[in-house]
Copies of this chain bind each other. A is one copy, B any other.
């Protein structure tokens, strides 16, 4: 299941135009890591943006909370994220 979601997100990465959707892609990468990655992989993803110690601690606290959510809830949060992006206001 997790692999399938990751593959779908990679598909998303390939479809997004690199020239125009970098912000979108960076957001999605962080959101993907928050909801789908292991804590160590997530922390590595955070380091990419050079957070200070307080920001890093806060993001790790957030991950600890998110990891308590049932997988069906996580899936529906990602579905909602998709709904935001494809909404007419985002077109």
With A68-B65, A77-B58 as contacts: A86 and B12 at CB distance below 8 Å: yes
Give the distance in Å from the alpha carbon of A50 to the alpha carbon of B51 in the complex.
34
Give the distance in Å from the alpha carbon of A24 to the alpha carbon of B76 in the complex.
20
Q: Mark A9-22, 1 if CB is under 8 A from B, else 0.
A: 11111111111111
Which B residues are in CB contact (< 8 Å) with A59? 76-77, 80
Shortest distance between the CB of A53 and any CB in chain B (Å) = 9
Shortest distance between the CB of A77 and any CB in chain B (Å) = 5
Q: Give A contacts to B, CB under 8 Å.
A: 1-2, 4-24, 26-27, 30, 46, 48-51, 54-59, 61-62, 65-66, 68-69, 72-87, 89-91
